[in-house]
Structure 1
Amino acid sequence: MLIFFSLCLLHYPVQAQEELNIDSDTVFFTSKRKKINIPFDLVHNLIVIPVRINGSQPLNFILDSGVKNTLITHLYHDDSLDLKEINKITIQGLGEGHSIEAYESDGNEMFMRGIKGINHRVYVLLEDVFDLSSYMGMPVHGIIGYDIFKNFIVKINYSNKNLTLYRPDATLKKKRKAEEYPLHIEGTKAYVHGNVRQHNGDTIKVKLVIDTGASHSLSLYLPSDGRLTLPPKVMKAYLGRGLSGDLHGQIGRLEAFALGKYELEDLPASYPDAESIKLAINMGGRNGNLGSDVLSRFTVIFDYPHSRLTLIPNHRFKEPFNYNMAGFEVVTPLPGTNFYVISNVIEDSPAKLLGLEPGDQLLNVNGRKCHELMLPELLEILKSKPGRTLRLRLKRQQEILDVDLVLQSRI
């Protein structure tokens, strides 16, 4: 599951994880209401919702349709879960590194607004490999997905930042601009078929796993189909982290991607290295995944019980696809504060050529103090438009640096 950020997801996607075991839990409404509305935070195109495990305080979870089991990625000193039936295990997912240790816990209770889950399986990572809190600029404790999608009809209104859960037998009135698509549920993964149009004019039908936990637009696995080719202009990129380490690859622009009657043009696509996706390459005949930079241009209705997906374009549908053109990523070492440092400086990028280094603190952007900027505002500045000059003031140890960085499109 690419998340971040496609984790990608920013492009700093967090990569969704591959096959852990799943238990037969039950998730249900706690009242006779027909639907439950849950406001969410949206950062890097990723949805963050409050979840409680057993008797815990509300914890922040990324809602990730690409993830199979509930993962606890980070706990703070004052967090308490009271987990049941704990076993220590080793797990592995996407990435180029090693497997990691985790606790597997069965028999837990899970709570959301108006929702309760029993016999809930939870995995607790003993190493915070994702560092989601720094990436998201707020405390993030974990990832939840299939347990929600399989039990309800799930409507995501990205414009209003509202999640609506309906009972699985609900009938929703179809909107005028809505288009329905078959949703192919294989195991715990949901797939759609779309068409990509490449620079050579070829149009190729692709099978994509739908991944609300990937912040990018589209990821394509070149080894999955010999007809898939790299665009003529690409750049090497750090694509994020999986359970088993870093994901690397290239980014380039597709001519177009179409789902039914809706076509999106000139969108950036990620092409992970074969080593990064070796565990996913043969799963279900997939050609890649569809991330939230596409999904967030619609109101999306996931109907796993009836195997269908509905898309309704929102105000962002016709917006151009931009990406971070500064050549560096930004993290917040103190989640919840507007304290920003540079990470992952890309080779041959404007930032690299100016000598910016990981760990440099951002103090000021175009006359605005960074402590006055929320993370989404800062990210929008970094991907605003090619040719824009950013006057940056940075701090490196005790030295103050002033640089003029020109945003540059390299794809």
Structure 2
Amino acid sequence: MKIIIEHLMSASRKIIRECPLQLVFCLSLILPGQTTAAIRIPFRYVQNFIVLDLKLEHVLPLKMIFDTGAEHHLLFDKKHTDLISNAYLREVRVMGSDLQQEIPALLTTSLDLGLTDRQHRNAQFVVLLEQIGSVSEMLGEQIDGILSASIFADNVFEINYKHHYIQIYEGLPSPKKLLGFGRCSLQIYKNKPFVNSNLTIARGTDPVALNLLIDTGAGISVLLYKSTQSTLSLPDSLIPGKLGSGLGGLLNGFLARTEKLDFCNTSFDKVITSFQEINTEYSERESRFKQGLIGNQVLEKYTLMLDYMHSTLYWKQSTPDRTIRTDRSGMTLVAGGYEFNQFTVAHILPGSPADRMGITTGDRILSVNRWPAGWLNLRQIQRRLSRTGDQKVRLRISHEGHKKTLVLSLKDVI
């Protein structure tokens, strides 16, 4: 024991001599029982999306959505890469989120991407030749692109929704770190994680086995694909609506509440589920492996660890609250203007409170509960429109060139 202690003290003195300014960090490297060194990357959680603030080639700031559902890293505009000499390799085409529209793009060389001040990785980007503004409009701030989670495919990485960080591990996390985590198998297909799931459409019906993508690039709860080859039965009560924003614009589909979702030995009841019809050869081929996705409105209830190399998902419930907060007005709003503080109605759900009050697509929101809309951001407005209980919201709108004041009585629209 004395020899061991003397050895540790000798090693400690050596470390103190070599890095006196980083004593605490250096000593932590030799203490027994420590977890493997990890890198922590903070994120902002905006409109149910994980947004990272990064730097391209050390100087160009980027705001990117962290997306486990993306095969490639994507930039929506070439304004950044045009500033870099010899940045492009060749032209390519990418498939839009509707699985129908192909979009022209350029593939870059390997570029330096700063994840933190000290952590950099090389990444190739697909750069769209046609500008995509709908993602920024849906989030209410400038978004420059999508960072595929495949950049961490050689590491175990943790997504902590509660404390807003991604942690990258060099090696496996310690058994102590994994205490309280459940575990299940993943299938990794095209750099994307899939999990076996069961969905019960309605009470009294048999659950349907589905292979669903764990998709942090989706700001919804669950989306299912309905193809001509699918045997999936749709719920009796469907509402036509906008499923969200993707490459190519807002996605059309149908919405309904389904009875129960089971995956990884955990479950959700009465989940608002989106149904997207797909009918192209490419989408039919993809649907044989991927029948839908689980998005952030469900995933945010957990802390997740993904291990692509061992095809494993670790999960731990981070909140006892299973309530998924959703809009109760029936309006889909987008943000425009230089500072994204001009708010326009992009879609109205039939029969919703907004529909009954005569609000239509194209109307502008001027104030909310007497607060000028320009003083608010999109997230603040949508929080007011998703309050639970017996709530009323006073809106001032511009409708066909005329200003009107309305009072919406919020209610569950699905």
TM-score category, normalised to shorter length: 0.7 to 0.9
Amino acid at match of 1:203: P
Query: Please, which of 207, 211, 216 is the counterpart of residue 207 of structure 1?
Result: 211
Structure number with larger C-alpha Rg: 2
Q: How many residues align?
A: 377
Distance (Å, rounded) in 1 between the aligned partners of 2:85 and 2:360: 41
Secondary structure, in 3 states, of the residue corresponding to 1:305?
A: coil
Q: Does 1:145 align with 2:148?
A: yes
Alignment of structure 1 residues 20-99 onto 2, 5 Å: 34-74=37-77, 80-82=83-85, 84-95=87-98, 98-99=101-102
The 5-angstrom pairing of residues 296-311 of structure 1 reads: 296-311=300-315
Is the 8 Å Cα contact of residues 97 and 244 (structure 1) preserved in structure 2?
no
Aligned partners of 1:55 and 1:81 also within 8 Å: no
2:50 is aligned with what amino acid?
I
AA partner of residue 87 (structure 2): K
SS across alignment from 2:223: strand
Give the aligned partner of residue 293 of structure 2.
289
- How large is the Cα RMSD of the aligned pairs? 2.8
Q: Residue by residue, what CA displacement relative to the aligned partner does 1:64-97 show, whole Å, maximum 9, x if unpaired?
A: 0010111101366999455623323333333276
- CA–CA distance in 2 between the matches of 1:80 and 1:369? 38
Partner SS, residue 374 of structure 2: helix
C-alpha separation in 2, matches of 1:387 and 1:334: 33
Q: Is the 8 A contact 1:323 1:383 kept in 2?
A: yes
TM-score normalised according to structure 1 size: 0.82
Contact 1:130 1:242 in 2 (8 A): no
Q: Which has the higher helix share?
A: 2
Matched residue SS, 1:58 = strand
> For residues 195 and 224 of structure 1, do their structure 2 counterparts lie closer, same or farther at Cα, with a shift above 3 Å needed?
farther
Aligned to 2:10: none
Mapped pair 1:380 → 2:410:
no
The structural deviation recorded for 1:104 is 1.5
Which consecutive residues of structure 2, in runs of 5 or more, have no partner in the other structure? 1-28, 30-35
Give the counterpart letter for 1:320 in structure 2. T
Q: State how 1:277-356 maps to structure 2 within 5 Å.
A: 279-283=282-286, 285-315=289-319, 317-334=320-337, 336-356=339-359
Q: Deviations over 1:279-301 (max 9, x none)?
A: 34432522211111110010111
Residues 58 and 113 of structure 2 are in contact (CA less than 8 Å); yes or no, is this contact kept in structure 1?
no
- 1:306 & 1:296 partners in 2: Cα distance? 23
Report the residue type matching 1:106 in the other structure.
T
Deviation string for 1:152-180 (max 9, x for gaps)?
21111111111111124544534443101
Is 1:136 paired with 2:139? yes
Deviation at 1:239, TM superposition (A): 1.7
Aligned residue identity for 1:318: D
Q: Which has the higher contact order (CA 8 A, sep 6+)?
A: 1
SS at match of 1:50: strand
Paired residue secondary structure (2:110): strand
| Corresponding residue of 1:11 | none
C-alpha distance in structure 2 between counterparts of 1:386 and 1:111, whole Å: 44
Q: Deviations over 1:190-217 (max 9, x none)?
A: 1111221221331222111111001111
Q: Who is 1:270 aligned against?
A: 274
1:167 match: 170
| Aligned residue in 2 for 1:10 | none
The one-letter code sitting in structure 1 at the alignment partner of 2:378 is: L
Aligned to 1:253: 257
**Which moves more between the two structures, 384-393 or 60-69?**
384-393
Greater displacement, 77-86 / 353-362: 77-86
CA drift of 1:303 comes to 1.3
Counterpart of 1:190? 193
- Going from structure 1 to structure 2, the CA distance change for 1:97 and 1:401 (only over 3 Å counts) comes to farther
| Cα distance between partner residues in 2 of 1:287 and 1:230 | 14
What is the letter of the counterpart of residue 292 of structure 1? N
Conservation of the 8 A alpha-carbon contact between 1:99 and 1:243: no
* Deviation (angstroms), 1:245: 5.5
Q: Name which of structure 1's ranges 82-91 and 212-221 shifts more when overlaid on structure 2.
A: 82-91
- 1:222 matched to 2:226? The reply is yes
| Conserved? CA contact 1:332–1:339, under 8 Å | yes
